[in-house]
Amino acid sequence: MHTKSLDPADLYKPCDPKSLRFKTTASLSSLNGILGQNRAKDALSFAIAMAESGYNIFAVGSSGLGKRTMIERYLAEHSPGSGKLSDWCYVNSFEDPRVPRVLRLPVGMGQKLKSDVEQLLNRLYKNIPQAFENESYFERSEKLKNELAQRQEKALSTIGRSARRQGVSLTIATPGGYRLVAADGDEPMSAEVFSALSDEEQLAIEAKIVKLEKRLRKTLRQLASREQDYAERQQQLNEEVALNVSQHLIDSVKQTYREHKEVVDHLDAIQQDILKNIDLFLDDSEEANALAAATMDNKLPRRYQINAFVHHDKNESVPILVEDNPNYHNLFGAVENITFKGTVFTDFTLIRPGSVHRANGGYLLIDAVKLLEQPFVWEALKRLMRSGKIGIHALEKEISISGTISLEPETIPADLKIILFGDRDTYLLLQRYDPDFIELFKVVADFETEIDRTEETQLQYARFIAGLIKEKGLLNCDRAAVMKIIEQSAREAAHQNKLSLHAADVANLLREANYCAQRAEHNIIGLDDVKQALSNARYRAGRIRDQVFEGIRDGATMLSTRGATVGQVNALSVLTTGDQEFGVTSRLTATTYFGDGSIVDIERDVKLAGAIHSKGMMILKAYLSTLFAQDGPIPLSTSLTFEQSYHEVDGDSASMAEFCALISAMSGMPVRQDLAITGSMNQFGDAQPIGGVNEKIEGFFDTCRLQGLTGTQGVIIPRQNARNLMLADEVLAACRAGKFHIYAVDRVEHVLELLLSDTSVPGYEEVYERVRNRIARMREIEKAHVEPASASPI
């Protein structure tokens, strides 16, 4: 059997210019909606339609797909109207200030209520002091005060006259302080004079004083009662004046909100509280001004203000929020504190909303990994979704490190969809370890990484590129540039008939091509600009690659691309350096010797091999046993290794190369060094496809080019990988010129025929026969060594 090299037309699938009938992207309309992703769109549509709880969304897909942007656009186009939106205001609870009340208002009314109440307070702050400075108020207040003073003076004067008649002097010091002593005429009797009196006279005076004291205390109690009566009458006067000033102003605001009972009730509560706290409007102290400055607020009485907690414009659409920093306070809000004169202070006006409050009635998008990195956030989010209520709780209480008294605002009904986006590993971890996850996130939006490449999708891709150009303000692309970007997308998808949906990669390529075009003073992005952008990106990320090939150039890495050697095969692998992947060639060698049929995998024995590599070796051994161990064990041991490899090896893409190296070592037939091979095999000897085929081919081509192209060099790949070929321009040019070849095979026997084609052996059967003959000879040798010696006669 003779395997022919693939036709150069099979190594790259270019865009057909006829499928893209435009000159530049300026003539293309932007793509509306999402490119591809029908499965994800169905999931989003279903979740939007489901009003029941638990139908939140987890968007699964690799980084760079543009999941967030696509979801935002889809929700903006397909979300229902803003009928579920409300404005939410926190107000003071005069009965229990620690539990601020929440008012639910129609859209646009929250901010208006705040403004209306501020205007009301401004008017009261101006009018109430004026009313209390009015001459009429002073007259009525003085009248009450004079009546009290007259009653006090009359009562005390009566007692004073009675005391003088009895020879006792009454002295009033401060209110409530008095002194009764014996009198000597009109003056209090001195202690010396009183001591000179007889005992009978002293006792008589003391008895009079005791009676007068009882009478005085009774009178003072009556005066205290009259003072309380005066205070109540003064308060009634103050309330009357304040009511006359405030009632019509408050009634005017109540009339505006007459259809909203909660607002009217709160305005009534404000009216009642104002009458009890009139001093708030009369006190213009420096302390009040300092407090207002500390809270970055005006100096209006804070207890009556409205905290427009969440408010919307009347024409506002459904909120679609992205929380990039989902810590506890950013998500769930907080009650802020201020320090005033060394004291921590807070009230309902310092309640601040979080993302869940602002997104209520709409959608909140969060990166799942960022969310899970924040302490206490995941449990709090689940609690919100289970309870259907949004509360504001101090984080200090969540972790129980503080007993500080704080507010406990009323909760708000939760009516929003939570959309998490992350990779599949994160989704599977949550699904496995959190039993609540499936109940709370019942919808999975699974984003594809690629789309079928057809004439229709290529045109859609061109419109997608046009949309990115308009969105990011870049130069337009001509048709050749768009074709190259589409072909590069197929290469990134690693399939001739697929296109990558990694929007971030396309956007980055467009930005860099735009930079190249501007630097070259082009007014449009052309093919050369795109090629230059790709070349620049490879160069920037190519330091390690250049070091690897420098080792090949100077001979430090020992590789052969000419001649033939027994037990030595050029195997291919892919090295990843973070932002670039490139193919490298490794010398794979095998040796055989008399033994028990074991295969010594040096990489595995020194723990430099992964589980998949070990699996490939076991499959290889199974196929060898199928071929050569039907009549007994193989009396040969073999040793395999990747020469000059000092890092971990994983994957089974070298299993066909390992098989060929072993067969060469066992048969003694040399292997062509101008061919390299990649591909895995199954237990029946069939070639199986592998990844990174373009990078592997290009890596061996670069190795051959360094050592000189001979015209016979090439790479052997599984036939299924032919559809993945989108090779670089220089490789294509060499293949078209007949200087490099790509062979596609179905079985390992086809590989043997290619690798041994420079020998006199006609086919793989002859190779297998040589192996069987050697095994037979080894078995005879083994049998001769283990036969017992003949018994000698006695």
Give me 479's structure tokens.
């048709």
* Number of Cβ atoms within 10 Å of the Cβ of 558: 10
Helical H runs in 640-692? 655-667
Lookup result for tokens 């939410």: 88
Of 355, 406, 653, 655, the catalytic one is 653
Q: Is 470 a catalytic residue?
A: no
**Is residue 684 within 8 Å of 620, Cβ to Cβ?**
no
**Is residue 692 within 8 Å of 535, Cβ to Cβ?**
no
Of 114, 208, 484, 696, the catalytic one is 696
Q: Is 790 a catalytic residue?
A: no
Strands (E), 151-202: 168-172, 178-184, 187-188
The CA-atom distances, in angstroms, between 768 and each of 76, 277, 287, 716, 773 are 66, 106, 101, 20, 9
Residues constituting the chain: 794
Burial class (CB in 10 A: 0-12, 13-18, 19+), 788: exposed
Rounded to whole angstroms, the Cα distance separating 104 from 107 reads 9
Q: Write the DSSP string, 273-292.
A: HHHH-THHHH---HHHHHHH
Rounded to whole angstroms, the Cα distance separating 280 from 273 reads 10
Lookup result for tokens 């205070």: 231
Among 695, 479, 674, which Cα is nearest to 559's?
Answer: 674
At position 671, the amino acid (one-letter code) is: V
The CA-atom distances, in angstroms, between 19 and each of 14, 450, 479, 480 are 11, 20, 11, 12
The CA-atom distances, in angstroms, between 425 and each of 61, 65, 367, 579, 724 are 10, 16, 13, 21, 26
Catalytic residues: 653, 696
